[in-house]
Structure formats: structure tokens, C-alpha cells
Amino acid sequence: MPSSHSAVTMCLAVMVGKAEGFSSPVFAISLILAIVVMYDAAGIRRAAGKQAHLLNKIVNTPGLTNVEVQERLVEVLGHTPVQVLVGAIIGVIVGIIF
């Protein structure tokens, strides 16, 4: 599944660029927002998902810890870079069409 967050923010940036001009400060702000969202989706959130997977594995290892866990951590938090890129491409296409 491509990143819907990347698609929405890139679509927003393209539509703002078309409406206000690609050299406007508003377009720059919307593009920076899209870049931050994509960085978060592929970087920070994905790393948190990997940490959650490792912590779940540690807690479930018999004899390693006496910690009793009520619920497992969510492991699928972020997107791969390819999913983010595809989402961004979809967003640009939709932004150009509309």
C-alpha cells in the first residue's frame, strides 16, 4: 500500500503550486510540510516499528524477563521508502489532474 499521507501532502503541494504559483511562499511551506511527512513516514515511524518488533520479541523470550505485558506494541508503524515514493507520485498525478 502506498503512503496515503505522502499522497495527500504532495497533492496539496501541487494544487497550492498551481493556484498560488510554484515560486510562492505558500507553495514552499506546503512542500516543506510534504517532505517532513514523508521523512516521518519512511524514517522515524519505521524505526519505531522496528524497535516495537524487537521489544515484543524480548518480552516474549522465555526466561529472559519477568515483565508481564498486557498488550503487544504495534509493529507496523511506518512505510518503506518505495511506498512513500509511490504515494508521492500518486499525489503529484492527482494534483496535476485536479
Task: Tell me which residue of 83, 57, 56 sits closest to 72, measured CA to CA.
Answer: 56
Our count of domains for the chain comes to 1
Rounded mean pLDDT of 24-29?
Answer: 98
* Contacts of 16 by beta carbon, 8 Å cutoff, 6+ apart: 24, 26, 27, 30
Q: Could you write out the DSSP letters of every residue in the chain?
A: ---HHHHHHHHHHHHHHHHH-TTSHHHHHHHHHHHHHHHIIIIIHHHHHHHHHHHHHHHTSTTT-----SSPPP---S--HHHHHHHHHHHHHHHHH-
**Tens digit of pLDDT for each residue in 41-83?**
888 888 888 888 888 888 777 776 666 777 778 787 778 889 9
Structural domain harbouring 22: 4-97
Rounded mean pLDDT of 23-44?
Answer: 94
Calpha distance 93→62 (Å, rounded): 50
